[in-house]
Structure 1
């Protein structure tokens, strides 16, 4: 009897279990449908929210963009600002032309003379070919890249437009000096000295030109003028000393070399041991 009871109990439990399983299955199906519907709703809301965020970026997204921009290199930043300026703020063509000039100056100050030259060229090719200042800047780009002939070409263009600009005249004289055209260099350097009578370096360079063509007395006079204007410049005494030495005036040469050493010591004292070296003879 007890076994039969156990059997019946087990049967009832099994029956109840079957019924429970069926109910659970039905509930699971219902729950599955609800979960599916809930997921569909969530996905729809997410897509809607994503579209809204895309149209209206959040503050966090804006900060991320700003942070990325702040980590950019200087070159990337300049390029980005350039494109942004051209695409957003620049209106009339004249503004674009002037912006090329400003970029030319920025790259020149950075020491990127090739890029600076390209921006300056783009500027003058837009109806600004008579801008002596920018022709001069193009020449300086070429000169800093050791392209002396091209530098002279643009300096001559600038000189035709502004014959009394001391920088144009002196730089043209310097380029002629580097090209070893000493007689013509003397012509321009003399004119530069008239425009800038207090510029000791021009007199020093004139002395070197005259020394090159073996006009020793003229060379001495210009070295002495350079010393009178800037008596603390050791290289002027050194140049005059070599001139005396080569002409047999040993006593005068020794006096100049001693003076040069004194000036060098003074410079070292001022700079605490980091004095400038003599400039090499050209």
Structure 2
């Protein structure tokens, strides 16, 4: 099925624990599914068959986990080749990756923050252009949550804008990450949103987080979306317009009906936006 989705569309992250419930979901309850190719490339058997069934019912978007766009190691060309095959096979028009790195002589199994410097802008932008050439399509990079800032010669918003311009790529705007970072680092979330370039926003993510303390939020994807984040999503729509929006949930899965209620809330916000 073609994965091109309209701006007013609401999706759900595909996780293996949701394969069976999603297979029984009512038609039209979600507009698209998003999966990480890293977790599905080469997977066959019962799991692979379940993915094929869902991909035939719903458009797929893809969100990578291990490309390590900001890392020091050369990009994995074999992984890029296999990712392109996966995207082509499932007719995926939107592929995104994190504006971070996850390798340094091997996989670190975490998303590490990139220093906000001009040198880093040049480094990561060149790697994004290389990845786009290898994948044969534009990609979107996601603003990430982080808990330490290794070096900030510029602020986060300026860094993201500089990368988008230098790399000539799109933005996957994660609204929960904006909220989490704004609390942890003491900036205004709505001002940050206003500084993002509307013309480059390809889609939005929204997710739950853990309130470690009043001034410390942890991006877990393991709870329901908080009211402040829903409000910020509405602000993003008013500032930049509606785009395909995905609900992420990685663990502590509730009954599917609860997740679909959050997907429906995305649709309600989209319908109320111009």
When you count strand as a share of all residues, which structure comes out higher?
A: 2
Tell me which interval the TM-score lies in, with the shorter structure as reference length. Answer: under 0.3
TM-score (norm 2): 0.26
Q: Which has the larger radius of gyration?
A: 1
RCO greater where, 1 or 2, for CA within 8 Å and sep 6 or more?
A: 2
More helix by share: 1
